[in-house]
């Protein structure tokens, strides 16, 4: 046999080049071949057997003998049959493993028994029963006979008994919409072939099991040899994902030139990747660990995905839903314009005050409530009050000529620092802002141009923040998606894989498209605010007394910022859903913090325009919130020190804000704060027992402190993994508390809620209820491993294109838009009420 190979080599000139060296090299080759024959005959006996399929061969192998099994296999171009080699070692204790080498026409497969598979920390798991499927090389002929050989050898001098069986896999090719069941284990992986049928460009491969563990991996690989079907190499090529009970991968025909692919299922040696327990650490580095029974029964089914018509229908649906809001707003605007034209017929003369027209609503505090609203200062005030002066900080009549003239001046030429608006009467601040009952007129004395410019800074700042924040985010998520597409690692992103429809390079286009509502409705809100801003400026230009002296002061800068934040929430949520995971969840929540903070500021600004926080202070605080959000995501998981520090900061911030709100900013945090606090305790609690002067504010702040202290205690005790959502829950709870307080105080003050505002409140509440229902469905969660997250995946429920989370996007964008409208319209009933008769609470 060796002589024949050497003879062929000589005729192929493999022993040396032509010329004068050929005789010498020929003699050298012949000598080596003769010596090799003697060595083989002395060292090993090679036996070749003609073998058959579905026959079990029991044999013994030693270092002195080598057995070769020859199989004749017919390959058809139109039919693919799998061939599976199963080997079992019957005798154990040999120091050297048995080596099995399967030689095919275009591929070689080799493995040893016992098969050693490694886990974490170099744990070694031996397997004595191995089953492998042979890679089937393609053939161009209609039918072709091919031989393949199974070589069995070992270096052990002791005889080792083994069983060898080669069988055909009849159902090797998967059928569309047909479930197929099989069993796999770490040493017996399985893979099957699927061919795209005509007219189908995209399919979803779904793998299911009733068993959570052992952990397994499903992989989609191209039709080529070798097939990577072991735990230590399954991630080398193709797309793959870990799974416990569910797994799904969307496969597109364009990614596979042969119009077919392999579905590979591998059971892992350990369960740690799927969230399972981690085995004990071996006492010795080379100690072999018995893995036990890790067989898993698995079902696989391949179903066609949606076609292009469903994509178009989904896009038209979402455009139709949100563009209908544009039509509704346009219709309401036309109706309002007609009503305004009719009202112009009965227009009130400019020289009449609102009180003379009889349109001013009676205040519930007209009948004696202001009798004790003088300049008495409570001993509670933690401030060094200046001495009182004779200046009256009550309602001051403004010159209409001066106001009208100021409207012709450019706002860009007015800076807040150019005017010393209230410093000249600083003592009156202490008198007025500590009155028992405050009116809006008391807190809206600053020049309107200055305040307008002050609140416009909110819009320009958030626009700048949006640009600098969004550009790196877009770049990062594009990189994420590229990494997923190149590596094929489906565990990087936490999709709902049962309803993830790809488009181009995007893996889940439907989750991105559903965020369009935030952008469209945010832009619509900006248009509404722009229209109201223009109408209000025209009223000021006409010296309309209702616009000048009645109602809640109109400052639209915060509204512009809210609309911009809603649009950015849509953009960043779409970026997050390009590849959702725990590292970029902050993209989805950052502008939620912004929206919650801006809504609270807008509520407070309505009746406290002069003392509301500046844009710089507000955004600095929100930046601190986002900073803690990042720290919590990176370091907060199970870190007791972080939670203690955060809880202390949370409680201190709550107390400082409570003091600021209670005393309307008339206190100072300096070295004398402790002395003044002790003085308050002695005066109001020991020397005389007196209740709080501002009972309404006290009730709000006590409830706020109870809620925030409870949330801080919950975070410290439970330490939730999703810190970003926990932080968002704190913001939403405080917003809802303040909103409820505002509504209650408004009704308690005898004010009413207009019809439009009431409709918006009811509509928004209903939509929020449905939105939260879909939000808590939990189709995926990055708080768990990717395999555990896929257990929550569910099929599409709307138009075969959108899932529960997409519906959450639809409804939450509508609900946020409705919430903004509530803030915009809830005080419309006060447009004809003088500001000195509107309470500030």
pLDDT in tens, 821-835: 999 999 988 888 888
Q: What end-to-end distance do the CA atoms of the chain give, in Å?
A: 103
The CATH code for residues 173-305 is 2.60.120.380
- Residues β-bridged to residue 126: 116
pLDDT at 671: 64
| pLDDT (0 to 100) of residue 325 | 95
- pLDDT of 10: 37
The per-residue pLDDT for 721 is: 81
In sequence order, which residues have a C-beta less than 8 Å from that of residue 719 and are 6 or more positions away? 636, 637, 638, 639, 640, 643
Assess whether pLDDT exceeds 80 at residue 536: yes
- Residue 758 has what pLDDT? 93
Say whether 319 sits in a helix, a strand or coil. helix
Q: What pLDDT is attached to residue 470? A: 92
701 pLDDT band, cuts 50/70/90, is: confident
Which pLDDT belongs to residue 432? Answer: 55
pLDDT at 291 over 60: yes
Looking at residue 575, its pLDDT comes to 94
pLDDT at 76: 74
pLDDT at 289: 80
Mean pLDDT over 175-179 rounds to 92
Does pLDDT of 81 surpass 60? Answer: yes
Looking at the DSSP bridge assignments, the partners of residue 161 are 60
Long-range contacts of 623-631 (CB under 8 A, 24+ apart): 625/593, 625/597, 625/727, 625/731, 626/586, 626/590, 626/593, 628/727, 629/586, 629/589, 629/590, 629/593, 629/723, 629/724, 629/727, 630/586
pLDDT in tens, 574-588: 999 999 988 888 888
| 40 pLDDT tier (thresholds 50, 70, 90) | very low
Predicted pLDDT of residue 687: 66
pLDDT for the residue 564 = 96
Per-residue model confidence as pLDDT tens digits over 494-534: 999 999 999 988 989 999 999 999 999 999 999 999 999 99
Most confident of 430-444, 621-635, 792-806: 792-806
pLDDT in tens, 87-140: 998 876 567 889 999 998 888 899 998 898 888 877 888 898 999 999 877 677
Question: By percentage, how much of the chain surpasses pLDDT 70?
Answer: 79
Q: Let me know how long the chain is.
A: 841
- With CA atoms as reference, report the closest residue to 823 among 515, 525, 447, 443: 525
Mean per-residue pLDDT, 163-171? 89
pLDDT (0 to 100) of residue 189:
94
Residue 159 has pLDDT above 90, yes or no: no
* pLDDT tens-place string over residues 758-790: 999 999 999 999 999 999 988 888 888 999 999
Domain with CATH 2.60.120.380 in the chain: 44-169, 173-305
Q: Given this model, what pLDDT does residue 431 score? A: 53
Give 385 or 53, the one with higher predicted confidence: 53
Max intra-chain CA distance, the chain = 130
Q: What is the pLDDT of residues 672-699, one digit of tens each?
A: 666 766 776 667 666 676 666 677 778 8
Domain 44-169, classified CATH 2.60.120.380, yes or no: yes
The yes-or-no verdict on residue 750 having pLDDT over 90 is no
- pLDDT band of residue 215 (cuts 50, 70, 90) is very high
Q: How far apart are CA 429 and CA 386, in angstroms?
A: 9
pLDDT at 588: 87
Q: Give me the pLDDT at residue 835, please.
A: 86
Are the CB atoms for 96 and 146 separated by under 8 Å?
no
pLDDT, mean of residues 707-723: 88
The three-state secondary structure class of 98 is: strand
What is the C-alpha separation between 339 and 333, in angstroms, rounded?
10
pLDDT at 574: 94
Give this prediction's pTM: 0.80
208 has a pLDDT exceeding 90: yes
pLDDT score of 67 more than 80: yes
Q: Which residue(s) pair with 162 in the sheet? A: 59, 89
In whole numbers, what is the pLDDT of the chain averaged over residues? 81
Measure the CA dihedral 646/650/656/662, to 10°: 180
pLDDT for 11: 40
Q: What is the pLDDT of residue 563?
A: 95
Residue 370 has pLDDT above 60, yes or no: no
Q: Which of 154-158, 489-493, 529-533, 596-600 has the lowest mean pLDDT?
A: 154-158
Is 552 within 8 Å of 832 (Cβ atoms)? no
Is the pLDDT at 33 greater than 70? The verdict is: no
Model confidence at 373, pLDDT cuts 50, 70, 90, reads very low
């Amino acid at each position: 046999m060796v002589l024949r190979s050497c003879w062929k080599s000589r005729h192929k000139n493999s022993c040396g080049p032509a010329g004068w060296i050929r005789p010498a090299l020929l003699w050298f080759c012949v000598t080596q071949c003769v010596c090799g024959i003697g060595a083989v005959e002395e060292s090993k006996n090679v036996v070749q057997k003609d073998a058959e399929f579905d026959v079990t061969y029991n044999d013994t192998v030693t270092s002195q003998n080598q057995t070769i099994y020859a199989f004749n296999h017919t390959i058809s171009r139109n039919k693919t049959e799998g061939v599976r080699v199963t080997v079992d070692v019957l005798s154990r204790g040999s120091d050297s493993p048995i080596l099995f080498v399967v030689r095919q026409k275009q591929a070689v497969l080799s493995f040893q028994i016992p098969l050693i598979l490694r886990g974490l920390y170099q744990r070694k798991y031996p397997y004595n029963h191995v089953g492998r499927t042979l890679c089937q090389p393609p053939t161009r002929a209609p039918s072709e006979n091919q031989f393949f050989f199974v070589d069995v050898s070992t270096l052990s001098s002791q005889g080792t008994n083994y069983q060898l069986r080669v069988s055909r896999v009849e159902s090797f090719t998967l059928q569309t919409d047909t479930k197929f069941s099989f069993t796999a284990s770490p040493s017996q992986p399985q893979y099957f072939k699927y061919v795209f049928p005509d007219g189908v460009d995209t399919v979803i491969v779904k793998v299911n099991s009733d068993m959570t563990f052992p952990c397994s991996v499903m992989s989609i690989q191209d039709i080529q040899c070798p097939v990577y079907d072991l735990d230590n190499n399954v991630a080398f090529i193709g797309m793959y994902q870990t799974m416990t009970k569910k797994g799904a991968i969307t496969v597109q025909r364009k990614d596979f030139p042969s119009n077919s692919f392999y579905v590979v299922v591998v059971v892992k040696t350990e369960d740690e990747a799927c969230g399972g327990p981690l085995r004990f650490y071996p006492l010795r580095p080379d100690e072999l660990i018995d893995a036990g029974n890790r067989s898993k029964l698995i079902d696989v089914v391949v179903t066609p995905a949606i076609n292009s018509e469903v994509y178009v229908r989904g896009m038209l649906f979402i455009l139709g839903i949100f563009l209908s809001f544009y039509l509704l707003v346009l219709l309401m605007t036309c109706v309002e314009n007609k009503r305004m034209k009719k009202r112009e017929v009965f227009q009130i003369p400019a020289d009449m005050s609102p009180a003379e027209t009889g349109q001013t609503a009676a205040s519930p505090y007209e009948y004696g409530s202001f009798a004790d609203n003088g300049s008495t200062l409570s001993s509670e005030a933690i401030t060094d009050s200046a001495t009182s002066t004779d200046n009256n900080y009550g309602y001051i009549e403004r010159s209409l000529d001066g106001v009208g003239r100021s409207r012709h001046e450019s706002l860009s030429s007015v800076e807040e620092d150019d005017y010393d608006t209230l410093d000249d009467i600083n003592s009156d601040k202490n008198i007025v802002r500590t009155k028992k009952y405050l009116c809006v007129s008391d807190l809206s004395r600053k020049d309107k141009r200055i305040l307008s410019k002050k609140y416009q800074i909110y819009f320009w700042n958030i626009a700048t923040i949006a640009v600098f924040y969004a550009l790196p985010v877009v770049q990062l998520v594009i990189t994420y998606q590229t990494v997923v597409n190149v590596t094929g690692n489906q565990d990087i992103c936490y999709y709902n894989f049962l309803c993830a429809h790809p488009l181009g390079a995007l893996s889940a286009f439907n989750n991105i498209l559903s965020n369009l509502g935030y952008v469209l409705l945010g832009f619509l809100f900006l248009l509404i605010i722009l229209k109201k801003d223009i109408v209000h400026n025209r009223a000021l230009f006409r010296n309309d007394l209702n616009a000048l002296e009645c109602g809640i002061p109109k400052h639209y800068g915060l509204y512009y910022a809210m609309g911009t934040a809603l649009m950015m929430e849509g953009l960043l949520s779409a970026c997050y859903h390009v590849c959702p995971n725990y590292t970029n969840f902050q993209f989805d929540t950052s502008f939620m913090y912004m929206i919650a903070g801006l809504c609270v500021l807008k509520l407070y600004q309505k009746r406290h325009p002069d003392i509301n926080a500046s844009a710089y202070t507000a955004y600095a605080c929100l930046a601190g919130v986002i900073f803690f959000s990042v720290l919590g995501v990176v370091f907060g998981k199970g870190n007791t020190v972080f939670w203690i520090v955060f809880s202390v900061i949370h409680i201190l911030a709550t107390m400082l804000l409570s003091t600021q709100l209670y005393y309307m900013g008339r206190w100072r945090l300096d070295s004398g704060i402790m002395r003044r606090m002790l003085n308050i305790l002695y005066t109001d609690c020991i020397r005389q027992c007196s209740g709080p002067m501002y009972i309404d504010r006290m009730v709000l702040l006590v409830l706020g402190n109870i809620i925030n202290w409870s949330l801080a205690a919950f975070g410290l005790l439970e330490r939730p993994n999703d810190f970003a959502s926990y932080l968002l829950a704190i913001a939403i709870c405080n917003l809802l508390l303040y909103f409820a307080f505002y509504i209650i105080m408004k009704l308690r003050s005898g004010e009413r809620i207009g019809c439009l505002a009431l409709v918006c409140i009811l509509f928004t509440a209903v939509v929020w209820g449905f939105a939260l229902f879909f939000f808590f469905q939990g189709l995926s969660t990055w708080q768990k491993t990717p395999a555990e997250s896929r257990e929550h995946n569910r099929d599409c429920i709307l138009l075969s294109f959108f899932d529960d989370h997409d519906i959450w996007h639809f409804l939450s964008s509508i609900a946020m838009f409705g919430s903004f409208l509530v803030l915009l319209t809830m005080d419309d009933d006060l447009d004809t009420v003088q500001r000195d008769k509107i309470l500030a609470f």
